[in-house]
Structure 1
Amino acid sequence: MENSSTVIDLILLGMTDNPQLGILLFGVFLIVYIVTVLGNLGLVVLIRVSPCLHTPMYFFLSNLSFLDVCFSSVTIPETLANLLSKLQAVSLLACVTQMGLSIIFASAECNILASMAYDHYTAICHPLLYHITMSRVRHLELVAGCYLGGLVNMVSVTTSITQLSFCQPHVLPHFCDNPLLLTLACSDHWVTQILIVGCGGFTLITSIMVILVSCLSVLMTILRIPSASGRQKAFSTCASHLTAVGLYYGTTMYTYLQPSQRGSQAGNQMVSVFYAMVIPVLNPLIYSLRNQEVKVALQKILKKNEEIKAKRRESDQYQTTSWGKTCSGPMGAGNASELSEFFLVGFTNELQLQPILLALFFLIYAVTVVGNLGLLVLIVVSSRLHTPMYFFFSNLSFIDFCYSSITIPKMLMGFFSGCQTISFSGCVVQTSCFVIFAVTEFFLLASMAYDHYVAIFSPLLYRIIMFPRFCLQLVAASYAVGLMNTVLLTNTAFHLTFCKSHVITHYFCDISPLLKLSCSDTQVLQLLLFVVVLMCLCP
């Protein structure tokens, strides 16, 4: 018997031993993961930018989509890594962390589904009291309670599992999950088993009871609705919800409420894959394809482009004339602090190209997020990658994720809503973030080059030179230099006066386009910008 505190690594066998089948499964699961992220994040963005979807029901639905993205991101990247390697080692701490996050998101999703059922019940059975019962405070409290319930379950189960002893071999069939981890325990784990069944059973039974009572009440009310269209709308809403509930609860109960792992390994593996990968990609399809309000909201956003194009042309003409008069006035300049917003020209005004660009940039952003966050998670959970080189690499992935997140989402929302304006303070924040991540990435790449130099030319002294504290100092210095340059450049840039126009010929705020709008002396800022660029290139 070996205590769990002494276990260094667990071995994840993966889905198959066949290399050809592994490559095929890798492609399938990667496509499923990308579609999951695109579908759920797309639904969240649609709900966010559509005022007609700002209701409690769609607030719950946006949280459900967020949980599906998180739940998939906890398991699928690790599964993809396993498919590309014969054996994948993972530390016990990383395994317990993955398991704990899965418990939080799975429990919270059960509670969210119950909250959505209660929302349907209130909307259909008590429509006159709906806005009072489902006030903003109430649905925020419900969502907070859903996450809190998941956190309580996670703490209870993971605390108990970490007290167990594990015997050799430390081999798991696929990703870390509490029923699978219990099979490795050689100490008495009946208390842990009771906790898993108790926490999972309480969450499932209470949420199922809420759903059943709500659906029965809704059904009885629907049958009394005289309007055929009203009955059809109510049935459609409930059918979508019951479909999602049936798929999710069926697989979850099979996995977590068995007294022991009586099923075959292949059967348990297939069920785990289904609830971890397939259900998250189905939820946005279930709630959007059968939901007329979502379709109407999407159509309204797409139709807005016609009106916005005409308004944009009028706005451009008016702003050019107005700001031109300001330049020729006696003052000759308008202070930047008087500006309320800038107008971003973007890529094109052609309506035919905008849906294509929206899809293209959305796909690029999704791949960027999935790739960099997946790589970051892989480096964190894989003990073999806990080296200075991959520590720098994980920071580079984090910076790339942040770098794209400060520009692309704003551009995508502009495609959705047609609004390409950005406030003065928003422009300051976007420019500051852009500079800090750009400069930091230059110096981080220089640190990685130095790490390669030491590893190749001084391999015997590598662990002495590149010890953890020094690596942390290099990364901290990179961020510090980026912050220092941000303060210097943005403070100088936004103290200029802007009088030519407030139309930025770019799709995000940057210092170079801002220089073209200034009517004051920009030589100091240009010199600072040249020095910063030179300093970034020199390392």
Structure 2
Amino acid sequence: MDKENYTEVKEFFLIGLSHYPALQISLYVLCLVMYLVILLGNSILISISILDPRLHTPMYFFLANLSFLDICYTSSSIPPMLVNFMSERKSISFTGCALQMVISLGLGCTECVLLAVMAFDRYVAICNPLQYTIIMNKGLCIQMASWTWMLGFLYSLLLTLLAMMRPFCDNIIDHLACEILALLKLICGDISLNVFIMTVGNFVFLVIPLLLIFFSYVFILSTILRINSSEGRKKAFSTCSAHLTVVILFYGSALFMYMKPQSKETKTSDELIGLSYGIVTPMLNPIIYSLRNKEVKQGVGKILTRRLYLRKI
């Protein structure tokens, strides 16, 4: 493609769902309510994990990481999205788009690896309970959590730089946010390197963690079925069912978005699935994974009782 067809981009226009103004108003209200629920639910989980000594375990350490990740992920995308819903211009600066893409893509990749780490934690807890505290020591937990964050952001930084350094033929993104697949459609010329790195990234951050989760639960299930006590089996299943529900929700939408064949046109269904991936899952995580847990409920009650007592004093 000739250079005169290139466009010097200083800002992008996000036109996702712009043809449905009535739907945008409904989505604005829905996304705002869900964002507030995300902030409240995940903040409560983080606070309890810190304040309740009984929850100072690897499981709740990783859950607190997941909750913090979900707050950061949604805060990077939902507030700008809400502004765009009510704005006629619906624009975002070149730097703002790059920053949003680095954060959202990095946190999404981090969550993929973190869910696999949490599956490993459950595997050790159920299959090697006597060695659990030795294997899942504080140092190892901090190292695993740190590596999940670093790997996710290094990959997202590489992918974003490769995309933003390329010449663009247009600056109109047919999406609700600066999403990598929608942005690649605007690049002039060959994007085979971008596609290759994204394909490798899909394998590293989607396929490998999903396989690790699968094999972890194969061993977990075989161990649970060997437990003689029905109460013991029930308790073991309850500690894993929430994690599996979160994995299905998260990976189901992520695999649909990034592993299916891409078309030139962005479908409305793709954008709504993107919303599910970016908003619904973070909102349900604390409910599904933690608030159903008896220890968390007791922690909430304990903290609320303590605060009410201090107010009376």
TM-score category by the smaller chain?
Answer: over 0.9
Tell me what 1:526 maps to: none
Structure 1 residues 486-526: Cα deviation after superposition (integer angstroms, max 9, x where no partner): xxxxxxxxxxxxxxxxxxxxxxxxxxxxxxxxxxxxxxxxx
Q: Is 2:7 aligned against 1:44?
A: no
Matches for 1:467-482 after TM superposition, within 5 Å: none
Distance 1:212 1:4 in 2: 46
Larger radius of gyration, structure 1 or 2?
A: 1
Tell me what 1:108 maps to: 110
The alpha-carbon distance between structure 1 residues 129 and 6, as it changes in their structure 2 partners (threshold 3 A), is: same
Match of 1:273 among 246, 270, 275: 275
Match of 2:180 among 171, 178, 181: 178
Distance 1:18 1:118 in 2: 44
Q: Is 2:238 aligned against 1:245?
A: no
Q: How far did residue 170 of structure 1 move?
A: 2.9
Write the letter of the residue equivalent to 2:160.
Answer: T
Q: How far did residue 186 of structure 1 move?
A: 2.0
Tell me what 2:35 maps to: 33
Structure 1 residues 330-388: Cα deviation after superposition (integer angstroms, max 9, x where no partner): xxxxxxxxxxxxxxxx7x307xxxxxxxxxxxxxxxxxxxxxxxxxxxxxxxxxxxxxx
Tell me what 1:227 maps to: 229
Secondary structure at 1:239 match in 2: helix
Q: Is 2:312 aligned against 1:349?
A: yes
Write the letter of the residue equivalent to 1:103.
Answer: L
Query: Are the aligned partners of 1:14 and 1:87 in contact in 2 as well (CA < 8 Å)?
Result: no
Higher relative contact order (CA 8 A, sep 6+): 2
The alpha-carbon distance between structure 1 residues 124 and 2, as it changes in their structure 2 partners (threshold 3 A), is: farther
Q: How far did residue 263 of structure 1 move?
A: 7.6
Match of 1:77 among 76, 79, 88: 79
Write the letter of the residue equivalent to 1:161.
Answer: A
Alignment gaps of 5+ in structure 1: 310-345, 351-539
Distance 2:5 2:249 in 1: 38
Tell me what 1:146 maps to: 148
Tell me what 2:157 maps to: 155
Tell me what 1:99 maps to: 101
Tell me what 1:290 maps to: 292
Alignment gaps of 5+ in structure 2: none
Secondary structure at 1:300 match in 2: helix
Tell me what 1:90 maps to: 92
Structure 1 residues 64-100: Cα deviation after superposition (integer angstroms, max 9, x where no partner): 0000001101111111011101231212222111111
Write the letter of the residue equivalent to 2:233.
Answer: R
Matches for 1:364-513 after TM superposition, within 5 Å: none
Query: Are the aligned partners of 1:10 and 1:172 in contact in 2 as well (CA < 8 Å)?
Result: no
Distance 1:162 1:303 in 2: 51
Match of 1:137 among 128, 136, 139: 139
Q: How far did residue 254 of structure 1 move?
A: 1.3
Secondary structure at 1:33 match in 2: helix
The alpha-carbon distance between structure 1 residues 243 and 263, as it changes in their structure 2 partners (threshold 3 A), is: farther
Q: Is 2:60 aligned against 1:58?
A: yes
Distance 1:214 1:51 in 2: 28
Secondary structure at 1:226 match in 2: coil
Query: Are the aligned partners of 2:114 and 2:148 in contact in 1 as well (CA < 8 Å)?
Result: yes
Distance 2:117 2:168 in 1: 39
Tell me what 2:197 maps to: 195
Write the letter of the residue equivalent to 1:249.
Answer: Y
Per mean C-alpha deviation after superposition, the further-off stretch among 273-282 and 92-101 is: 92-101
Query: Are the aligned partners of 2:185 and 2:264 in contact in 1 as well (CA < 8 Å)?
Result: no
Distance 1:3 1:52 in 2: 62
- With structure 1 as the length reference, what TM-score do the two structures score? 0.55
- In percent, how many aligned pairs have the same letter? 37
Distance 1:176 1:139 in 2: 33
Secondary structure at 1:196 match in 2: helix
Distance 1:52 1:71 in 2: 28
- With structure 2 as the length reference, what TM-score do the two structures score? 0.93
Tell me what 1:208 maps to: 210
Distance 1:305 1:75 in 2: 33
Distance 2:7 2:73 in 1: 27
Q: How far did residue 18 of structure 1 move?
A: 4.3
Secondary structure at 2:312 match in 1: coil
Match of 2:14 among 4, 12, 15: 12
Tell me what 1:446 maps to: none
The alpha-carbon distance between structure 1 residues 273 and 284, as it changes in their structure 2 partners (threshold 3 A), is: same
Task: Tell me the number of residue pairs that the alignment of Structure 1 and Structure 2 aligns.
Answer: 311
Distance 2:224 2:65 in 1: 27
